[in-house]
Structure 1
Amino acid sequence: MKLSKVVAASAAVLALTATATACGSDNEDAGGGKIKVGIKYDQPGLGLKQPDGSFAGFDVDVATYVAKELGYKPSQIDFVETKSADRENALARGDVKFIAATYSITDERKAKVDFAGPYLLAHQDLLIKADSKIAKGDDLNGKKLCSVTGSTSAQNVQKTIAPKANLKQYSGYSECIAALQSGAVDAVTTDNSILAGFAAQDKYKDQFKLAGLKLSNENYGIGIKKGDSALEKKINAALTKMVSDDAWQTAISDNLGPAYYTGEPAPKIGEIVT
């Protein structure tokens, strides 16, 4: 009789262990039920760490949706700052599971990491004052154009459409936007999504608009470790679902709409626009 009770108790323990293991297998990350996701911390409207420590932006919403489809609640997501220069290394080291951080898909980057998506088609554009008369590229000739030091965006404008533009370079886009507000420059250039995010801040409400120029195609993808085809497939499925259930459009409207960002419709997941 005592032996039967011991056997029964052992069976119960084994059953509980099996159940716990099965429940834990829903999450891909074995590190205590958490997933680390790379984002930007300093891009309003896209990836921004707020004063209270929370995160907001379109990339944050995309990352949260994808993580949910992988089996993680918002409370299980650890957002990790991944600056542009360190994105490939962060994936290779395993610092993050995936990266959603205005990460344009290029052949050079694809040699080092894999991409799911694209989930947004952006274009290099100009941000100008709401009452500006700048309507086309060559209107910039003789005007003051701002971009970030080391960026190719302003150089592209000078080389291709406005060789007589007076280029001013600052250390960050927030400085360029402040210069635009004060009248120190006439336009700011980089990806339209980034410009719209900065302009959507409450302090700049109704002051700026996008010129609507499409000076380049920037296919934003979700970066993952090279060779992780299983994760790429799952993330692509999550992005497809996000588009189909209108969560993608809601995220665009909530985060970038205040800057009159119309942008492109949701891309077809898996198709690169050249």
Structure 2
Amino acid sequence: MKVFKAGAAAAAAVALALTATACGVSNDKSGGSGDSTATGGGKDKVVVGIKFDQPGLGLKTPDGKYTGFDIDVATYVAKELGYQPDQIEFKQAISSERENLISNGDVKFVVATYSINDKRKERVDFAGPYFLAHQDLLVRANDDSITKAEDLNSKKLCSVTGSTSAQNVKTKLAPKADLLEQGGYSECLTALENGAVDALTTDNSILAGYASQEKNQGKFKLVGLSLSNENYGIGLKKGDKELQTKINAALKKMVEDGSWDAAVKKNFGPANYKNEPAPQITEGS
């Protein structure tokens, strides 16, 4: 009889644990994989989507740390939502997967150079914007053959699958350019350095981050164009107005208390990047 009771107790414990897991509740504060904790069950942990390969914005370093402007914004917002830095789990959000991560509940929100546009808003909602960038071109430092968008029509151009920059080139700027789409910007940068492509296009903030890296200094230059306006927003599940309101309030506070300016100077200062002022928040208003 005692054996039966012990077995029943063990079975009940297992059932309870499975129920807690299914509800997205976790006491794991180690920063492990735990995707089911994206809802921040019991505010033990929050999962945030970021870029891993964008220096100055969202970069995972070889020692496992995270740096960049988007990281600072995400950390500030998470704190305003009730999470300390050790309660944040950062999950890689490549451009083509951001909507899926949000829709599937793999992340609570995404801070990943995520330009707000109508097509994306069909699947997700945004808070913000929190930053205004412009599409530009990065070329090799000794290349003076590209000075305007039209010059790309006879050139090989690299961008990232799922980015607005790639679509902008295809439809508006240089429809005859030989466009190579890669999974990440680091692959495009390698292709640019070894001569496989002639230019890399994306937001000037991202390009400035790459160009300012110590290993890249003197190798590349920004052409200095403003080919589009890219308002970065924080992506979240469609219809979650409560979270949208809270994130917007956090972004406003970040600007008002000076933390936004401090983050810009810290992350973009070395590249001599001239940023736009903090944009007015329009999403959810």
Indicate whether the TM-score tops 0.5. Answer: yes
**Structure 1 residues 234-245: aligned runs within 5 Å:** 234-245=246-257
Q: What is the distance in 1 between the residues matched to 2:47 and 2:233?
A: 17
Structure 2 segments unaligned to the other structure (5+ residues): 1-38
Q: Read off the aligned partner of 1:60 and give its amino acid letter.
A: I
The partner residue of 2:126 within 90, 93, 115 is 115
Instruction: Compute the TM-score of the two structures, normalised by the length of structure 1.
Output: 0.77
Contact 2:94 2:184 in 1 (8 A): no
Shift of 1:114: 1.6
**Higher Rg of the two aligned structures:** 1
Query: Is residue 2:100 matched to residue 1:89?
Result: yes
Q: What is the distance in 1 between the residues matched to 2:162 and 2:93?
A: 18
Q: What is the distance in 1 between the residues matched to 2:171 and 2:235?
A: 30
The partner residue of 2:212 within 177, 200, 213 is 200
Shift of 1:76: 1.4
Q: What is the distance in 2 between the residues matched to 1:224 and 1:152?
A: 18
Instruction: Compute the TM-score of the two structures, normalised by the length of structure 2.
Output: 0.74
Q: What is the distance in 1 between the residues matched to 2:81 and 2:162?
A: 37
Q: Read off the aligned partner of 2:228 and give its amino acid letter.
A: S
RMSD: 2.8
Contact 1:147 1:189 in 2 (8 A): yes
Q: Give secondary structure in 2 for the equivalent of 1:123.
A: strand
Distance 1:127 1:67, change over 3 A: same
TM-superposition CA deviations, 1:95-128 (whole Å, max 9, x none): 2221111222122222222211011122221012
Q: Which residue of 2 aligns with 1:230?
A: 242
The partner residue of 1:37 within 48, 60, 66 is 48
Shift of 1:250: 2.2
Q: Which residue of 1 aligns with 2:60?
A: 49
Q: Read off the aligned partner of 2:73 and give its amino acid letter.
A: V
Distance 1:172 1:99, change over 3 A: closer
The partner residue of 1:61 within 62, 65, 72 is 72
Shift of 1:218: 1.8
Contact 2:53 2:185 in 1 (8 A): no
Q: Which residue of 1 aligns with 2:278?
A: 266
Query: Is residue 2:109 matched to residue 1:98?
Result: yes
Q: Which residue of 2 aligns with 1:254?
A: 266
Query: Is residue 2:218 matched to residue 1:218?
Result: no
Q: What is the distance in 2 between the residues matched to 1:152 and 1:94?
A: 23
How many equivalent residue pairs?
A: 245
TM-superposition CA deviations, 1:128-177 (whole Å, max 9, x none): 23454343333445444333467663564465444665545555422332
Distance 1:32 1:171, change over 3 A: closer
Distance 1:135 1:231, change over 3 A: same
TM-superposition CA deviations, 1:211-235 (whole Å, max 9, x none): 2212122221111222221221111
Contact 1:147 1:169 in 2 (8 A): yes
Distance 1:171 1:235, change over 3 A: closer
Q: Give secondary structure in 1 for the equivalent of 2:130.
A: strand
Q: Read off the aligned partner of 1:69 and give its amino acid letter.
A: E
Shift of 1:210: 1.9
Shift of 1:199: 2.0
Q: What is the distance in 1 between the residues matched to 2:97 and 2:175?
A: 32
Q: Read off the aligned partner of 1:242 and give its amino acid letter.
A: M
